Amino acid sequence: MTIPVERVSRPGRVAEPGEGIGIDELRLAGRNHAMPLEMLRAELTPPGLHYVLTHYDVPDVDAATWRLDLGGEVEHPISLSMADLTAMPSRTVRVTLECAGNGRAGLSPRPVSQPWLTGAVGTAEWTGVPLRDLLADAAPTGSAVDVVFTGHDHGFERGVEQDYARGLSLAEADADDVLIAFAMNGAPLPAQHGFPARLVVPGWYGMAHVKWLRSITVIDHPFDGYQNAAYRLRQQPDDEGVPVTRIEPRALLMPPGDPDFMSRDRVLRPGPVRLRGRAWSGWGGVTRVEVSTDGGATWRDAALGPDEHRWAWREFTLDWEAGPGEHLLRARAHDATGRVQPVEPAWNRGGFTNTADDPVRVVVLDG
């Protein structure tokens, strides 16, 4: 349905040169918050500090009457209550989740949308029922192509009225560790993270992890819904574009020292500092992280922490002798597939997958 009203049918927009963050972006940024970067100290992000991105409103879902319906191109349609779901064999997977728009505010010109810097990330332990088990019970027919996941939230986007919905191919949906999750870090999902149940697709950018899950529908053609069409890398609005899928490698430094309130520059005293951070990739494990303390003129290899959780970030550290003056700290990750975090942003119209780092400015005091 197309809405003939200008305010709910605005096309995507790119900011004018020099145009600051506007009130519409501030409205989104006040609802959708980043993880404070100091929380990089924690392997598991406490719920409440994990980033949040919700396109419309957080829906009011009652777990007592909630049902999950799995139907469409299947031999045996399924309908589960919360009690049915939580009684099934479950597993817990540690997953680093990142919004595909993380880094958008660092692009120039800036695509006007949720203006993320670099903090749209978090790591949690998600407990749920493997989707593969549900699909095995439902038995997709020979004509099954895609699997569509629909949430309880409803809204308008660029003039299109919709329930939030995303599709995966049957093979992607049937992958190891894809979960219908009902717990986050051992407790029921918080409302903002999809209560009572959400999809978790380890390694994929956030948009695939449908919250407030209501139905799963197996269809006999590729899903062409709004959210699958929107998350594509395009230079022009009418480009066909390339779908956004897995998380590109990124290393993020935990800003050292103490912040200045307004600039958020970091203030340190001279002497040895252990720089820390975490790095991740949805394509393969992180194999190397380089850190620069001179704005990218020279790079040193950081020491890597254990690599025990395939879908979660990996800690890195580098010992630095901080001398008086100003310094720009940077980091970049490499993964097992040979992907390397770029030093310069790669622009696209949606402002997706900008993994260029946001250098940390440090002022080391004179003694």
Ligand X SMILES: Nc1nc2c(c(=O)[nH]1)N[C@H]1C(S)=C(S)[C@@H](COP(=O)(O)O)O[C@H]1N2
Q: Which of 174, 232, 227 has the alpha carbon at shortest distance from 201?
A: 174
277 binds, among Mo ion, ligand X, none (CB under 5 to 8 A by kind): none
- Per the listing, tokens 């574009």 go with 241
151's contact among ligand X, Mo ion, none, with CB below 5 to 8 A by partner kind, is ligand X
- Is 277 one of the binding residues for Mo ion (CB under 5 A)? no
What is d(CA 244, CA 31) in angstroms, rounded to the nearest whole number? 24
CA-CA distance, 160 to 178, in Å (whole number)? 29
C-alpha 292/C-alpha 294 separation (Å) is 6
- Please choose, out of 48-56, 104-112, 263-271, 329-337, the segment that lies near Mo ion by the rule CB under 5 A: 48-56
List the beta strands (DSSP E) in 185-249.
Answer: 187-188, 198-200, 213-219, 232-233, 242-243
Q: Which is nearer to Mo ion, 163 or 315 (CB)?
A: 163
Length of the chain: 367
DSSP SS3 for 143: coil
Nearer to ligand X (CB atom), residue 62 or residue 321: 62
By beta-carbon proximity to ligand X, the closer residue of 209 and 334 is 209
Query: Cα-flanking dihedrals φ and ψ of residue 319, to 5°?
Result: -85, 135
Residue from 207, 218, 289, 322 binding ligand X (CB under 6 A): 207
Select from ligand X, Mo ion, none the partner in contact with residue 210, using the beta carbon and a kind-dependent cut-off of 5 to 8 Å: ligand X
Question: Which range of residues in 51-59, 86-94, 167-175, 259-267 is near Mo ion by CB under 5 A?
Answer: 51-59
55 binds ligand X (CB under 6 A): yes
DSSP string for 18-66: TPPP-HHHHHHHHHS-PPPGGGGG-SSPPTTTS----SS------TTT-
135, 160, 161, 165: which is closest to 150 by C-alpha?
165
When CB distances are held under 5 to 8 angstroms depending on the partner's kind, the choice from Mo ion, ligand X, none that residue 214 binds is none
Check residue 210 for interaction with Mo ion (CB under 5 A): no
Task: State which amino acid sits at residue 263.
Answer: S
H/E element, 97 = strand 91-98
Binding positions for ligand X, 218-237, rule CB under 6 A: none
Interaction pattern, residues 181-200, with ligand X; x per rule: CB under 6 A: ------------x-------
What are the φ/ψ torsions at residue 215 (nearest 5 degrees)? -145, 155
Alpha helices, H only, the chain:
23-31, 82-87, 131-138, 170-173, 226-230
Question: Closer CB to ligand X, residue 28 or residue 267?
Answer: 28
3-state secondary structure of 206: helix
Residue 164 or 320: the one with the smaller Cβ distance to ligand X is 164
d(CA 144, CA 131): 15
The interface with Mo ion within residues 83-142 (CB under 5 A) comprises 99
Indicate which single residue of 15, 37, 39, 52 sits in contact with ligand X (rule: CB under 6 A). Answer: 52
Q: Which residues is 138 bridged to in the sheet? A: none
Q: Identify which range of 3-11, 20-28, 203-211, 288-296 contacts ligand X by CB under 6 A.
A: 203-211
Query: Which member of 106, 111, 151, 351 binds ligand X (CB under 6 A)?
Result: 151
Shortest CB 210 distance to ligand X, Å: 5
Determine if 216 is a binding residue for ligand X (CB under 6 A): no
- Whichever of 52 and 173 has its CB closer to Mo ion, that residue is 52
- Render the burial of 7-40: b for 16+ CB within 10 Å, e for the rest: eeeeeeebbeeeeeeeeebeebbeebbbbebebb
212 binds ligand X (CB under 6 A): yes
Determine if 206 is a binding residue for Mo ion (CB under 5 A).
Answer: yes
Judged by CB under 6 A, does residue 153 bind ligand X? yes
- Is there binding between residue 53 and Mo ion (CB under 5 A)? yes
Q: Cβ 207 to Mo ion, closest distance in Å?
A: 5
Q: Two tokens at 364?
A: 């080391």
Residue 314 interface partner, choices ligand X, Mo ion, none, CB cut-off 5-8 Å depending on type: none
311 binds ligand X (CB under 6 A): no
**Which spans of this chain sit near ligand X (rule: CB under 6 A)?**
50-55, 97, 99, 151, 153, 164, 193, 206-207, 209-212
Judged by the rule CB under 5 A, the positions of this chain that interact with Mo ion are 53, 99, 206-207
